[in-house]
Amino acid sequence: MAYLFTSESVSEGHPDKVADQISDALIDNFLAFDTDSKVACETLVTTGQVILAGEVKSKTYLDVQQIARDVIKKIGYTKSEYMFEANSCGVLSAIHEQSQDINQGVDRANKEDQGAGDQGMMFGYATNETADYMPLALDLSHKLLQELAEMRRENSEITYLRPDAKSQVTLEYDDNNKPSRIDAIVISTQHDDFDEEALMLSKIKKDIIELLIPRIIGKYPQYAHLFNDKIEYHINPTGKFVIGGPHGDTGLTGRKIIVDTYGGKGAHGGGAFSGKDPSKVDRSAAYATRHIAKNLVAAGIADEILVQVSYAIGVAKPMGIYINTYGTSKVSLSDGEIAKKVEDIFDMRPYFIEQRLKLRNPIYSETAAYGHMGRKPETVTKTFKSPTGETKSLTVELFTWEKLDFVDKVKSVFGL
């Protein structure tokens, strides 16, 4: 039976994403100068104010105020009329030392015995309905906002855009569980003030439909067949959206965990990613389970796979691994039997996850907007500067959990 499914995304200027990006910039700077840093940093942003709080164990010292301001400037909050501006906002730090009670459960004399930084369950998901093995509605939602942000920075075709925005895509699936068309698109974008609200609304809707959508179709021709003249568009449906960003809505780290993962497909364990170093399995194990799910689907084990792993705080070995192929398995094994083989292929102890995915590097700022999953693995050089004037340039691999580097091994183990 045909059905509708919806996912949403938010731009880098959304207040919750501003908070995520500041928290992950702090992680990157700590790891750049001390790879053994233990960090759990939360950020709150509101009108003219940034508040940093959390626990840190590190050998390095950072100018956290300047790091926050640099992030805000890069996002685009650079005008006083936004009521939240990089150079003038207040930045209050309430970061303190990590609890020794927690640390003693994580650090071990033998690094391989490193315990999980917290209890909990983490999920990874993959589907072959897109080339990057992501759910299509979320993929489109992200791409709409990434392209809108590009247009804002170009400041040529559309000149009134401000940083805050949200998108939502509703897809119709056919009887074979395949996406057949886009049913509805919702986009709310912050904008400069207009003299006439009616003129403003008509112009924004016209620009979105006639400028943004054709750019999406041109850049991603594989999705062209999904667009049709029956799409229901809701563009800035509440009307005026001048007041936005942290002035319009207080932002907090970790409040967009479904946007960060699979848009409501699969499952989520509830733990946020941003602001956490990789000893926190909320983050590292979620990346590792995505890596497993993607490689399994790419190897042809199933069309769609959910992977769950769970931990006890301070214990290295997971409580268990669960696999759900949603009845799409291509191998003559039960989901439980698939899980047993997965345990043999992927070592899910925290230290081995860190090593396999190279997570002790400053690679997290790039994850903090437009999703942690489904992104392109690439090698980049990043430069960091400490308050003492020390400059460090590091070449790092981004989105290592998106690599299809275990496909051959999976095929071998499963006899494919």
Q: What is the pLDDT of residues 230-260, one digit of tens each?
A: 999 999 999 999 999 999 999 999 999 999 9
Residues 155 and 291 in one domain: no
Mean pLDDT within 19-42: 97
Strand partners of residue 113: none
Mean pLDDT within 13-27: 98
Tally the residues of the chain: 416
Q: Is residue 174 part of a domain?
A: yes
Residue 16 annotated as part of some ligand binding site: yes
Mean pLDDT within 285-313: 97
Question: Which tokens belong to 97?
Answer: 């030392």
CATH of the domain at 67: 3.30.300.10
Residue 240 annotated as part of some ligand binding site: yes
Q: Is residue 345 part of a domain?
A: yes
Residues 124 and 266 in one domain: yes
Residues 404 and 262 in one domain: yes
Look-up of token digits 């700077």:
29
Residue 33 annotated as part of some ligand binding site: no
Residues 151 and 208 in one domain: yes
Mean pLDDT within 350-357: 97
Residues 226 and 310 in one domain: no
Residue 304 annotated as part of some ligand binding site: no
On the question of pLDDT at 124 being above 60, the answer is yes
* 250 contacts 99 by C-beta, under 8 angstroms: no
Residues 292 and 359 in one domain: yes
The confidence band for 159, taking pLDDT boundaries of 50, 70 and 90, is very high
Residues 356 and 377 in one domain: yes
Residues 195 and 269 in one domain: no
Which residue among 190, 212, 243 closes a domain? Answer: 243
Strand 179-191 with 232-235, pairing: parallel
Q: Is residue 249 part of a domain?
A: no
Residues 385 and 309 in one domain: yes
Q: Which pLDDT does position 111 carry in this prediction?
A: 74
The confidence band for 156, taking pLDDT boundaries of 50, 70 and 90, is very high
Residue 249 annotated as part of some ligand binding site: yes
Q: Is residue 347 part of a domain?
A: yes
Which residue among 214, 243, 272 closes a domain? Answer: 243
Residue 272 annotated as part of some ligand binding site: yes
Q: Is residue 63 part of a domain?
A: yes
On the question of pLDDT at 102 being above 70, the answer is no
Q: What is the pLDDT of residues 313-325, one digit of tens each?
A: 989 999 999 999 9
Residues 328 and 371 in one domain: yes
Q: Which pLDDT does position 109 carry in this prediction?
A: 60
Look up the domain containing 382 and give its range. Answer: 120-128+256-414
* Number of domains into which the chain is organized: 3
The confidence band for 108, taking pLDDT boundaries of 50, 70 and 90, is low
Q: Which pLDDT does position 114 carry in this prediction?
A: 85
On the question of pLDDT at 406 being above 70, the answer is yes
Strand partners of residue 57: 38
Q: Which pLDDT does position 16 carry in this prediction?
A: 98
Find the helix or strand (DSSP H, E) in which 185 lies. Answer: strand 179-191
Which residue among 243, 276, 306 closes a domain? Answer: 243
Find the helix or strand (DSSP H, E) in which 97 lies. Answer: strand 90-97
Q: Where is pLDDT greater, at 389 or 302?
A: 302
Q: Is residue 108 part of a domain?
A: no
Q: Which pLDDT does position 112 carry in this prediction?
A: 74
Mean pLDDT within 210-214: 98
Q: Is residue 157 part of a domain?
A: yes
Residue 241 annotated as part of some ligand binding site: yes
The confidence band for 45, taking pLDDT boundaries of 50, 70 and 90, is very high
Residue 98 annotated as part of some ligand binding site: yes
Q: What is the mean pLDDT of the chain?
A: 95
Residue 55 annotated as part of some ligand binding site: yes
Residue 42 annotated as part of some ligand binding site: yes
Residue 255 annotated as part of some ligand binding site: yes
Residues 282 and 357 in one domain: yes
On the question of pLDDT at 283 being above 90, the answer is yes
Residues 273 and 323 in one domain: yes
Q: Is residue 107 part of a domain?
A: no
Residues in Cβ contact with 81 at an 8 Å cutoff, skipping those fewer than 6 apart = none
Burial class (CB in 10 A: 0-12, 13-18, 19+), 376: exposed
